[in-house]
């Protein structure tokens, strides 16, 4: 994928992150075909489908339970990468060999999904996940990691 096209996709991914209702952090993810330069699927972090605005319906379970950022990733919003991979599976969109652009380093849980979905490269944009991340796991399992500061992140410093 040409650098100028990747820069455009990064901008789209950052813009997508603003769709999240999460009061703590907003993440976006795009699945792209690097050869044809087309978006295959997108995702952002948020509450479960049909389950309300936030992870606890109308409340943030992480705030309610005073859970520190970067810990207990099983509690809270569905992550952008998780939504993207599940939406791909539900709609018959192949992930094998695709690239994932994401607005922060994937957690270990999402990294396992990324690896098993056959995603070939993860482009991590500006900043990262608050806890131990799964980039090392991905690299150890043959998934290329490309870090970029990309265009400046419009989400601010609420990460």
In a domain? residue 60? no
Say if 159 falls within a structural domain.
no
Give the domain extent around 83: 3-46+78-148
- 73 in a domain, yes or no? no
Structural domain count, the chain:
1
Q: Kindly give, in sequence order, each residue whose CB lies less than 8 Å from that of residue 60, ignoring residues fewer than 6 positions away.
A: 22, 23, 24, 54, 76
Tens of pLDDT, residue by residue over 76-134, are: 888 999 999 999 999 999 999 999 999 988 989 999 999 999 999 999 986 555 556 78
Q: Active-site positions? A: 81
Give me the CATH number covering residue 117.
3.40.140.10
The answer to whether position 17 is within a domain reads yes
Place of tokens 């990324």: 114
Residue 101 lies in a domain: yes
Which residues on adjacent β-strands are paired with residue 148?
Answer: 125
Residue 107: strand, helix, or coil: strand
Residue 152 pLDDT class (50, 70, 90 cuts): low
Q: What pLDDT digit, counting tens, does each position of 28-41 carry? A: 999 999 999 999 99
Q: Please report, for residues 12, 15, 77, 145, the alpha-carbon distance to residue 111 in angstroms, rounded to integers and kept in the order given.
A: 22, 22, 16, 11
With beta carbons less than 8 A apart as the criterion, state whether 121 and 97 touch.
Answer: no
């Amino acid at each position: 994928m040409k650098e100028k096209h990747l820069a455009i996709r990064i901008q789209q991914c950052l813009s997508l992150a603003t769709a999240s209702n999460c009061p703590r952090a907003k993440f976006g993810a795009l699945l792209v075909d690097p050869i044809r330069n087309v978006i295959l699927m997108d995702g952002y972090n948020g509450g479960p489908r049909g389950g309300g605005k936030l992870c606890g319906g109308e409340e943030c379970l992480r705030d309610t339970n005073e859970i520190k950022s970067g810990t207990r990733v099983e509690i809270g919003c569905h992550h952008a990468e998780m939504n993207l991979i599940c939406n791909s599976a539900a709609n018959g969109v192949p992930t094998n060999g695709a690239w994932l652009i994401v607005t922060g380093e994937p957690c270990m849980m999402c990294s396992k999904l990324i690896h098993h979905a056959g995603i070939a490269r993860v482009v991590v944009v500006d900043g990262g996940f608050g806890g131990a991340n799964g980039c090392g796991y991905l690299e150890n399992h043959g998934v290329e990691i490309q870090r970029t500061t990309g265009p400046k992140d419009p989400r601010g410093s609420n990460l």
